[in-house]
Structure formats: C-alpha cells, structure tokens
Structure 1
Amino acid sequence: MGNPMVAAHGRVVLHGLDKAVKNMDNIKAAYAELSVLHSEKLHVDPDNF
C-alpha cells in the first residue's frame, strides 16, 4: 500500500467489521464504548452514522 495512514485506517475498519461479525447477537453492546467515544470525546454528529 502506498500510503501508510490509509493502510492503518483500513486495518482499523476491518477490525471493527470483525468485531461486528463476532458479536452479531449483540452489536449495540459491543459498540457501546465506541459510541460514547464518538459522541462525548470526538463530538461526531449522530446523523453521520
């Protein structure tokens, strides 16, 4: 991969997808911590999800 930052982000995305697949029965709980991070620390607009 030419850009190491793009490659690193791709790994993050794929790890997130892997987590979703492994927690299909309870995805909300699996991503609760990530949700708090995005809403409270990063201030990401929920409409962007």
Structure 2
Amino acid sequence: MGAEGLAWFEVPGTIHVISELPTTPGTDGTKLRAAILREWARQRRTEAAG
C-alpha cells in the first residue's frame, strides 16, 4: 500500500515504534495518555532537528 491518492499531510514523514503506550486507568476503562505521546513526539522532533 502506498501514498497514492493521499495529500502530502496525510503521509507520515517518520514512524517511531514504541514498545508500550502510556496509559492510565479510567472510569470507562484504560485511557491513553495523549499528553505523554505529544511530549515524546516533541522531544523526537527536537532531537532530529538538533
């Protein structure tokens, strides 16, 4: 599967594989800690630009 038919912003520039997603228990089940993921992404962008 390729990027044919997708806009440039729909195709990721890089993909980072992580062993485990950061989660926290919630009243409706396990919740993904999106703020942690954003911080990780910001750190990786900073390192790549560095």
Bin of the TM-score, shorter chain as denominator length: 0.3 to 0.5
- If the length of structure 1 is used for normalisation, what is the TM-score? 0.40
| Larger RCO (alpha carbons 8 Å, 6+ apart) | 2
Larger Cα Rg: Structure 1 or Structure 2? 2
TM-score (norm 2): 0.39
